[in-house]
Amino acid sequence: MNTQSTTEQHVRAAAPWGNLAISEQLSLPYLGDTQFAALVLERGIAHTAEAHWPTSARSLDAVLPHALTTARSQRVESALLDVEPLFGERCLALVSLRGGTASVRVAAPELVALPEIEGWLRDCFPPAEASADRLVPISFWSYGSCGATTISRTIAVPTWEEIRDNYPHALRERLAPLVDPSFRPAEGGRLVLWHGPPGTGKTYALRALAWEWRARCDLHYVVDPEVLFGERADYLLEVVLDDGDGDDERWRLLVLEDTGELLAADAKEQTGQG
């Protein structure tokens, strides 16, 4: 069977709020998404939630004993879980692993069960954290046929102390407040314009910043900033408002490279949209 083939699937289910229909163009590795939605409607489950986070887990082994169905492709593994024995009647979960990111959807008849199920899944798929050997998780955003998606990778980074002497004194003085442990962004966020010719160490310095901020900040890299600032308003909202880790205390650093013309006052004219 070609797992990349698609099929038109229609699901109708009776629920307390009436008859609803699901109609999707499906790729078989993502069949669990529609199965999850169909069961939520069929069983009249009132409450759902979703979350995603970078994870150090690389397999679904921890939850396979609870799997109703599984799906695998070269890039994605997913499992639809019956967690009723753990959390009560009609509780469901869908978990997917893709590129170092755990994405979960949970459903329960009682609202209080949702954070309990998510907490259990976070224990099964531990969030990735910066390690002592200076490996930092980074989330990479892109926009495709299914909308905004994110995958996570762990990359090696230097400390600022190791590389600071590679930069001119004046630049080191400008960067010192950013890498200082007492730094806090302004209320509502802060824009940092980092510019210079290619090969001057901008990306390397950003990697060092990721290490210095590791205890309080998650790094997100937008692969296609021209789409983010283009016609896809849903993409911009998804990236800016994303709260996948659920931790209100941590910051999010959004990195957009080569975006000078996209931030200019005449950006639309420069990019041919004016």
pLDDT tens track for 166-184? 999 998 998 888 888 788 8
8 Å CB contact between 83 and 166? no
Residues 66, 23 share a domain? yes
Most confident segment among 25-29, 30-34, 58-62 = 58-62
> Quick check: is 129 in a domain?
no
- Residues 196-236: pLDDT tens digits? 888 888 888 888 888 888 888 888 999 888 888 887 788 88
Residues 144, 114 share a domain? no
The 10 Å Cβ neighbour count of residue 39 is: 19
pLDDT score, position 5 = 39
Domain count, the chain: 2
> Quick check: is 108 in a domain?
yes
Q: Tokens 């798929």 — which residue? A: 125
Q: What is the mean pLDDT of residues 126-132?
A: 78
Kindly list the strands in the beta sheet with 251-255, ordered across the sheet, starting from the edge strand earlier in the chain.
147-156, 135-144, 217-222, 251-255
Amino acid at residue number 62: A
Confidence bin at 7 (pLDDT 50/70/90): very low
Domain that holds residue 195: 135-270
Amino acid at residue number 155: I
**Which of 68, 103, 124 is the last residue in one of the domains?**
124
Residues 112, 19 share a domain? yes
Residues 187, 102 share a domain? no
> Quick check: is 223 in a domain?
yes
> Quick check: is 154 in a domain?
yes
Given a cut of 80, whether residue 18 has pLDDT beyond it is: no
Residues 113, 159 share a domain? no
Percent of the chain with pLDDT over 90: 27
More confident residue, 86 or 74: 86
Residues 119, 19 share a domain? yes
pLDDT score, position 273 = 45
Q: Which of 16-25, 57-66, 77-86 has the lowest mean pLDDT?
A: 16-25
CA 207, 208, 212: angle at the middle one, nearest 5? Answer: 120
pTM of the predicted model, to two decimals?
Answer: 0.61
Confidence bin at 17 (pLDDT 50/70/90): very low
For 258: left if phi > 0, alpha if psi spans -120 to 50, otherwise beta; the answer is: left
Q: What is the spatial distance between Cα 142 and Cα 266, in angstroms, rounded to a whole number?
A: 24
8 Å CB contact between 149 and 101? no
Given a cut of 50, whether residue 10 has pLDDT beyond it is: no
More confident residue, 196 or 248: 196
Q: What is the mean pLDDT of residues 107-130?
A: 93
**Which of 100, 124, 148 is the last residue in one of the domains?**
124
> Quick check: is 1 in a domain?
no
Percent of the chain with pLDDT over 70: 81
Residues 98, 41 share a domain? yes
Residues 146, 261 share a domain? yes
**Which of 103, 124, 145 is the last residue in one of the domains?**
124
Q: What is the mean pLDDT of residues 118-129?
A: 91
Residues 141, 110 share a domain? no
Whole-number Cα distances in Å, 127 to 78, 121, 136, 219, 220 = 17, 10, 12, 14, 15
> Quick check: is 153 in a domain?
yes
Residues 111, 37 share a domain? yes
Residues 149, 262 share a domain? yes
> Quick check: is 214 in a domain?
yes
Q: What is the spatial distance between Cα 65 and Cα 82, in angstroms, rounded to a whole number?
A: 9
Residues 165, 80 share a domain? no
Give alpha helix (H) positions in 125-181. Answer: 160-163, 169-179
> Quick check: is 265 in a domain?
yes
pLDDT score, position 22 = 55
- Averaged confidence pLDDT in the chain: 81
Q: The CATH number of the domain where 98 resides is what?
A: 3.30.310
